[in-house]
C-alpha cells in the first residue's frame, strides 16, 4: 500500500477498533470475536510502529502508555465536585422530601441511582476527544490521572459527537476483579486490599499505567459538570440518556420516581438485591430531576439541596477476635 492507502487503512482500523471496543466494553455485546479484534489491533500496531506519524492521539493503541510517571500534577476542576448530604432512614428521607416540596411545590420527580462504592473522578473532553481525567481531590483541585484512566476500556477516547464537556463518574473495581486481585496478592505475599474501593484507589494511584491497566477497573459516568444548560438538556434523566448516546457507560439501574414512597420502594429493592450486584454500592443517590428545580433549590456551602445519599446501615462486622466478656 502507498502512504495514502496506509493512512486510509489506519483511519479505518481506528474506527473499527473504536466501534468494536464500544460494543464489547460498554454494551457488553461483542460485534466480532476477540481474535478478530486482536487481529485489527495487531495490524494497527504494526503500521504505527513503522509509521509513527500515523499514530492518532485517540488511537486504541494509546490506551496503555509506556512511560512510568514521576508523580501526578494537580488539576483544578472547571466545575467544583460537590459533596452529598446523607440520609440514614425514612425520617431523613421525609425531611428531605418535605424541604423540597416547601421550596418548589409538588410537581417534580426524583432520579434514584445506585451509589457506586468507588472513587469519584472527573473526565474532560475537548471536541469529542478525551483530554484529561482527574481524582475528585478536595472537590476543587484533584490529581491528573489521565494515563491511568485511559486504561479503562469503557472510557471512550473519542465521542460519537465532537462535544466539549467535563463529566463526573465513579471509578470502581468489580467484585470479581477484587477477589482475583487479592488472591494474587496473597500468592505474591503482598498485603490484601481491604475492599474494592481501596483497591480501585490504589490502582488509580499507580505511577505505571501498565499496572493500572492490569487491575480491570471500570467506571459509571453519572453527571455533567455545570448545569447541563449548554447541551439543551431539561433534566438529569435526559443528561444520562445523552451520555449513553455519546458512548459512555452509565448505570442502567437508575429509576425516575414520582414520590418519596417510590424512592423508599427502590431503596428496599436494592437493599435486598445488593449482594447480587457485580460491584459494591454503599447507598442510593436521590436527585431532583429537572434542572430548573435544581437551580431553584440551589446549594449549601458544600452540597446541593436537590440531592442526598441514602446510606445503607453499616453491616455488622463479624469480629474474628474472641468475644471478650465485658466485666461491668
Residue 115 Cβ, how far from ligand 3BD at the closest point, in Å? 5
d(CA 83, CA 196): 21
| Contact with ligand 3BD (CB under 6 A) among 108, 222, 291, 310 | 222
Q: Which is nearer to ligand 3BD, 44 or 84 (CB)?
A: 84
Does residue 63 touch ligand 3BD according to CB under 6 A? no
d(CA 280, CA 274): 8
Does residue 285 touch ligand 3BD according to CB under 6 A? yes
Residue 306 Cβ, how far from ligand 3BD at the closest point, in Å? 8
d(CA 49, CA 69): 22
Q: Which is nearer to ligand 3BD, 63 or 168 (CB)?
A: 168
Site map (CB under 6 A) of ligand 3BD, residues 150-179, x = contact: ------------------x-x---------
Residue 287 Cβ, how far from ligand 3BD at the closest point, in Å? 6
The 10 Å Cβ neighbour count of residue 90 is 12
Residue 113 Cβ, how far from ligand 3BD at the closest point, in Å? 4
Contact at 8 Å (CB) between 122 and 225? yes
Q: Which is nearer to ligand 3BD, 314 or 318 (CB)?
A: 314
d(CA 281, CA 78): 27
Q: C-alpha grid cell for residue 30?
A: 461483542
| 305-324 positions binding ligand 3BD, by CB under 6 A | 307
| Contact with ligand 3BD (CB under 6 A) among 48, 113, 143, 147 | 113
Contact at 8 Å (CB) between 70 and 152? no
Using CB under 6 A as the binding criterion, the count of chain residues that bind ligand 3BD stands at 16
Stretch (H or E) spanning 234:
none
Does residue 297 touch ligand 3BD according to CB under 6 A? no
| Contact with ligand 3BD (CB under 6 A) among 23, 31, 45, 82 | 82
Residue 299 Cβ, how far from ligand 3BD at the closest point, in Å? 9
d(CA 328, CA 326): 6
Closest CA to 97 of 268, 306, 267: 306
Does residue 304 touch ligand 3BD according to CB under 6 A? yes
| Contact with ligand 3BD (CB under 6 A) among 21, 223, 228, 247 | 223
Candidate list 3, 11, 115, 175, residue with the active-site label? 115
Q: C-alpha grid cell for residue 238?
A: 435526559
Closest CA to 223 of 187, 248, 199: 248
Q: Which is nearer to ligand 3BD, 64 or 292 (CB)?
A: 292
Whether 115 is a known active-site residue: answer yes
Does residue 120 touch ligand 3BD according to CB under 6 A? yes
Contact at 8 Å (CB) between 206 and 212? yes
Half-sphere exposure of 192 (CA within 13 A, CB side): 12
| Helix 196-204 / helix 175-187 crossing angle, nearest 10 deg | 70
Rounded to 5°, the CA angle 234-239-243 comes to: 155
Does residue 136 touch ligand 3BD according to CB under 6 A? yes
**Chain contacts with ligand 3BD (rule: CB under 6 A):** 82-84, 113, 115-116, 120, 136, 168, 170, 222-223, 285, 287, 304, 307
Annotated catalytic residues are 115
Amino acid at each position: 500500500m502507498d502512504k495514502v492507502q496506509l493512512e486510509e487503512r489506519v483511519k479505518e482500523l481506528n474506527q473499527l477498533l473504536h466501534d468494536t471496543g464500544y460494543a464489547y466494553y460498554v454494551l457488553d455485546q461483542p460485534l466480532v470475536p476477540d481474535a478478530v479484534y486482536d487481529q485489527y489491533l495487531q495490524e494497527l500496531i504494526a503500521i504505527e510502529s513503522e509509521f509513527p506519524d500515523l499514530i492518532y492521539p485517540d488511537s486504541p493503541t494509546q490506551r496503555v502508555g509506556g512511560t512510568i510517571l514521576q508523580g501526578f500534577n494537580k488539576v483544578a476542576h472547571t466545575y467544583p465536585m460537590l459533596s452529598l448530604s446523607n440520609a440514614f432512614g425514612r425520617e431523613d428521607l421525609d425531611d428531605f422530601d418535605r424541604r423540597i416540596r416547601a421550596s418548589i411545590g409538588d410537581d417534580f420527580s426524583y432520579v434514584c441511582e445506585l451509589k457506586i462504592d468507588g472513587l469519584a473522578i472527573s473526565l474532560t473532553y475537548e471536541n469529542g476527544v478525551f483530554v484529561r481525567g482527574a481524582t475528585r481531590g478536595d472537590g476543587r483541585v484533584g490529581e491528573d490521572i489521565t494515563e491511568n484512566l485511559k486504561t479503562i476500556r469503557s472510557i471512550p477516547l473519542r465521542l460519537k459527537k465532537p462535544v466539549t464537556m467535563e463529566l463526573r463518574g465513579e471509578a470502581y473495581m468489580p467484585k470479581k476483579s477484587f477477589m482475583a486481585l487479592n488472591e494474587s496478592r496473597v500468592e505474591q505475599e503482598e498485603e490484601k486490599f481491604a475492599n474494592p474501593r481501596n483497591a480501585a484507589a490504589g490502582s488509580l494511584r499507580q505511577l505505571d499505567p501498565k499496572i493500572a491497566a492490569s487491575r480491570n477497573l471500570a467506571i459509571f459516568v453519572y453527571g455533567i459538570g455545570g448545569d447541563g444548560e449548554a447541551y439543551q438538556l431539561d433534566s438529569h434523566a435526559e443528561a444520562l440518556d445523552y451520555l449513553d448516546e455519546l458512548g459512555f457507560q452509565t448505570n442502567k439501574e437508575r429509576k425516575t420516581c414520582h414520590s418519596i414512597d417510590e424512592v423508599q420502594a427502590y431503596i428496599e429493592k436494592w437493599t435486598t438485591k445488593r449482594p447480587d450486584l457485580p460491584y459494591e454500592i454503599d447507598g442510593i443517590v436521590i436527585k431532583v430531576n429537572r434542572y430548573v428545580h435544581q437551580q431553584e433549590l440551589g446549594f449549601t456551602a458544600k452540597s446541593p439541596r436537590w440531592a442526598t445519599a441514602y446510606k445503607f446501615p453499616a453491616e455488622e462486622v463479624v469480629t474474628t477476635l474472641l468475644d471478650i466478656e465485658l466485666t461491668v
